[in-house]
């Protein structure tokens, strides 16, 4: 996708216009507004519910000591996990991008693989192996291990694509190698690391599986518990809204760094490879030990634990029928969610790729609401919504598919937008001059050429939805079980061996989204990234 460069001096990029400045067709704007409205349902209804409870009840909930504790725990978790990911991720990124470490490409793959392990699967694998492993620091450990790739991959890509001439100039201006690196190369990589850090923060804040399994009273677990146990609806709703507010702050911050990253592209001249730092002797051994340790913790422990469980579970007798039923159920609901997401994304993606105006921008931004909504929040809000507004939809497959569509709409819009933008509008205009109407011209050119990209976006939604946990737990019809919920209910009763086949199936499902994500994060061109939750 071509990115518009906007110069602050001239305002608009003159000749490079890709998007038309004229207003989008009214029909597309209306359809796009429908999408935005749908995306807003969970958030708006949550606000309505909280507001309806009355200011006294709200203050009452906010004043509870437990609320302050929850906020404190969540913020501490986010800060510690993000900080540790940066401390571990940046030097690791440097090792695999700027040194002569052996098997460099293999290390990059190994460092990306933890993306394919959903946090609750990783947490389950640790607990099954080490039953004493629990609490805040256990959650920190697992979250750091599964989300370090969000820092390593983009930072390593930034180190690789950093213009080596800058570091050379710094050297010739009297800086030592270390100070030249810090003064010239690190500022080029910092926006990528910062964007990754914000994704880690968002991922940690929205995570339900790891904090619930390790019994950490962060927002998601408290919200789920108060919905589940006491049916304290106002309390849950107020906390959910607080959680959304925090997540929204992170999303806004991430958008800003993305804007900054765009402007970081250096001139388009001959790009030379960065100078490779030779590691020798003890430093080389130490570096290899470091990467090996990271790999063992992030991959070795979960995989080893699962293999261990599987071999022991032979005696337990795996129920293949239940496994297949769960897989089919997951697939079927997620498929409906993906279809819904693609249909909703179509008008928004098209106008975002082709037109520039305030209304287009507003529709696009609002449609991305799901990006800032943790699954627990969408689940809770839709439970309220179906119960009091459309009781027939309560705990139906449709509501669950709807939740998936709202949660993962951003992925689908992103795919539609970028694949539409790669098709030159000239093709569609030429088809018009050859006698086709607007719709047939679109169908014959842009639609046909962008279809593979849009379908890939749909597949991404499908696979991501199949491993979604909290919203599925809250919204699934009674008696329906998906892979994620089957695994979850077995883990809750400490039937770890029986949960293992489900865990392996979930890792297999997560592999493709993880691969796509790692590709996006290692691209030299900045692209929109979203946490692989």
Smallest separation, CB 270 to other proteins (Å): 7
Smallest separation, CB 259 to other proteins (Å): 13
3-state secondary structure of 515: helix
Smallest separation, CB 524 to other proteins (Å): 15
Binding part of the chain for other proteins, among 174-182, 248-256, 442-450, 488-496 by CB under 8 A, reads 174-182
C-beta closer to other proteins: residue 104 or 262: 262
216 binds other proteins (CB under 8 A): no
Please count the residues of this chain forming the interface with other proteins, following the rule CB under 8 A.
28
Plot region of 3 (φ>0 → left; ψ -120 to 50 → alpha; else → beta): beta
C-beta closer to other proteins: residue 176 or 388: 176
CA neighbor of 224 nearest in space, from 491, 237, 247, 51: 237
C-beta closer to other proteins: residue 131 or 177: 177
C-beta closer to other proteins: residue 8 or 479: 8
* Count of other CB atoms within 10 angstroms of residue 125: 25
Question: CA–CA distance from 53 to each of 45, 59, 128, 148, 233 (Å)?
Answer: 12, 10, 42, 40, 10
Q: Which of 57, 175, 233, 256 binds other proteins (CB under 8 A)?
A: 175
115 CB-near residues (< 8 Å, 6+ apart) = 146, 149, 510, 514, 517, 518, 532
176 binds other proteins (CB under 8 A): yes
Q: Which of 24, 144, 170, 505 binds other proteins (CB under 8 A)?
A: 170
Yes or no: say if 119 and 209 are a contact pair by the CB < 8 Å rule: yes
Q: Which of 16, 266, 365, 524 binds other proteins (CB under 8 A)?
A: 266
C-beta closer to other proteins: residue 270 or 433: 270
174 binds other proteins (CB under 8 A): yes
270 binds other proteins (CB under 8 A): yes
Q: Tokens representing 397? A: 């497959």
C-beta closer to other proteins: residue 262 or 432: 262
Question: CA–CA distance from 319 to each of 333, 488, 498, 511 (Å)?
Answer: 22, 16, 9, 24
Entry field: residues in the chain: 533
493 CB-near residues (< 8 Å, 6+ apart) = none
Q: Tokens representing 91? A: 């030097």
Based on DSSP, count helices (H) and strands (E) in the chain, helices before strands.
25, 0
C-beta closer to other proteins: residue 57 or 265: 265
178 binds other proteins (CB under 8 A): no
183 binds other proteins (CB under 8 A): yes
C-beta closer to other proteins: residue 131 or 187: 187
CA neighbor of 242 nearest in space, from 150, 385, 380: 380
Q: Tokens representing 382? A: 């839709």
Pairwise CA distance, residues 206 & 219, whole Å:
8
187 binds other proteins (CB under 8 A): yes
Q: Which of 11, 229, 269, 282 binds other proteins (CB under 8 A)?
A: 269
Smallest separation, CB 186 to other proteins (Å): 10
Binding part of the chain for other proteins, among 57-65, 182-190, 228-236, 317-325 by CB under 8 A, reads 182-190
C-beta closer to other proteins: residue 164 or 477: 164
Smallest separation, CB 155 to other proteins (Å): 16
C-beta closer to other proteins: residue 188 or 308: 188
C-beta closer to other proteins: residue 5 or 69: 5
Smallest separation, CB 328 to other proteins (Å): 52
Q: Tokens representing 199? A: 């994704």
198 binds other proteins (CB under 8 A): no
Handedness of CA 340, 343, 348, 349 (dihedral sign): positive
160 CB-near residues (< 8 Å, 6+ apart) = 97, 98, 274, 524
Smallest separation, CB 173 to other proteins (Å): 3
C-beta closer to other proteins: residue 115 or 184: 184
172 binds other proteins (CB under 8 A): yes
Smallest separation, CB 8 to other proteins (Å): 6
Residues 273-292 within binding reach of other proteins (CB under 8 A): 275
Pairwise CA distance, residues 211 & 141, whole Å:
11
Residues 149-168 within binding reach of other proteins (CB under 8 A): 163, 165-166, 168
CA neighbor of 425 nearest in space, from 493, 371, 350, 360: 350
Smallest separation, CB 2 to other proteins (Å): 17
Q: What are phi and psi of 315, to 5 degrees?
A: -65, -30
Q: Which of 26, 267, 434, 493 binds other proteins (CB under 8 A)?
A: 267
Residues 1-20 within binding reach of other proteins (CB under 8 A): 7-9
Residues 346-405 within binding reach of other proteins (CB under 8 A): none
Yes or no: say if 76 and 264 are a contact pair by the CB < 8 Å rule: no
Pairwise CA distance, residues 204 & 198, whole Å:
10
100 binds other proteins (CB under 8 A): no
Handedness of CA 299, 190, 258, 86 (dihedral sign): positive
11 CB-near residues (< 8 Å, 6+ apart) = none
Q: Which of 90, 180, 366, 383 binds other proteins (CB under 8 A)?
A: 180
> Which residues of the chain form contacts with other proteins (CB under 8 A)?
7-9, 163, 165-166, 168-177, 180, 183-184, 187-188, 263-264, 266-267, 269-270, 275
């Amino acid at each position: 996708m071509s990115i518009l460069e906007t110069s602050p001096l001239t305002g608009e990029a003159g000749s490079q216009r890709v998007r038309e400045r004229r207003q989008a067709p009214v029909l597309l704007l209306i359809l796009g507004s429908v999408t935005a409205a749908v995306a807003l349902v969970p958030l708006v209804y949550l606000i309505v519910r909280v507001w309806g409870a009355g200011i006294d009840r709200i203050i009452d909930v906010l004043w509870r000591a437990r609320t302050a504790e929850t906020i404190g725990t969540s913020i501490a978790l986010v800060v510690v996990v993000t900080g540790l990911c940066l401390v571990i991720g940046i030097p690791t990124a440097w090792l695999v991008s700027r040194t002569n470490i052996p098997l460099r490409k293999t290390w990059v793959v190994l460092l990306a693989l933890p993306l394919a392990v959903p946090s609750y699967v990783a947490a389950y694998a640790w607990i099954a192996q080490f039953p004493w492993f629990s609490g805040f620091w256990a959650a920190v450990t697992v979250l750091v291990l599964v989300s370090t790739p969000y820092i390593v991959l983009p930072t390593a890509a930034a180190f690789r694509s950093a213009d080596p001439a800058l570091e050379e100039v710094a050297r010739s201006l009297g800086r030592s190698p270390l100070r030249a690196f810090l003064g010239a190369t690190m500022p080029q990589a910092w926006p990528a690391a910062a964007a990754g850090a914000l994704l880690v923060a968002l991922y940690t804040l929205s995570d339900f599986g790891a904090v619930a399994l390790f019994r950490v009273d962060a927002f998601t677990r408290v919200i789920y518990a108060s919905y589940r146990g006491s049916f304290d609806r106002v309390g849950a709703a107020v906390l959910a809204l607080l959680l959304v507010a925090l997540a929204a702050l992170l999303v806004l911050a991430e958008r800003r760094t993305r804007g900054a990253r765009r402007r970081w592209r250096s001139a388009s001249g001959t790009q030379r490879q960065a100078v490779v730092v030779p590691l020798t002797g003890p430093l080389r051994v130490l570096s290899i030990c470091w990467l090996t340790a990271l790999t063992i913790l992030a991959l070795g422990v979960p995989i080893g634990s699962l293999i261990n469980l599987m071999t022991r579970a032979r005696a337990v007798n795996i129920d293949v029928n239940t496994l297949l039923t769960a897989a089919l159920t997951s697939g079927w609901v997620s498929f409906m969610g993906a279809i819904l997401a693609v249909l909703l994304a179509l008008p928004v993606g098209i106008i975002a790729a082709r037109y520039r105006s305030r209304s287009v921008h507003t529709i696009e931004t609002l449609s991305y609401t799901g990006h800032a909504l943790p699954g627990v929040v969408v689940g809770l809000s839709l439970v309220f919504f179906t119960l009091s507004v459309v009781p027939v939809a309560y705990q139906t497959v449709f509501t669950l598919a709807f939740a998936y569509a709202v949660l993962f709409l951003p992925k689908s819009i992103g795919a539609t937008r970028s694949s539409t933008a790669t098709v030159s509008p000239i093709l569609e205009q030429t088809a018009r001059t050859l006698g086709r109407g607007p719709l047939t011209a679109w169908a014959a050119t842009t639609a046909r050429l962008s279809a593979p990209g849009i379908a890939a976006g749909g597949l991404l939604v499908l696979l991501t939805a199949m491993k979604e946990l909290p919203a599925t737990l809250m919204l699934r019809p009674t008696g329906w079980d998906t892979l994620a919920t089957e695994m979850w209910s077995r883990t809750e009763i400490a039937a770890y061996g029986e949960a293992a086949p489900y865990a392996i199936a979930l890792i297999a499902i997560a592999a493709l989204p993880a691969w796509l994500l790692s590709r996006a994060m290692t691209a030299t061109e900045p692209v929109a990234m979203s946490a692989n939750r």
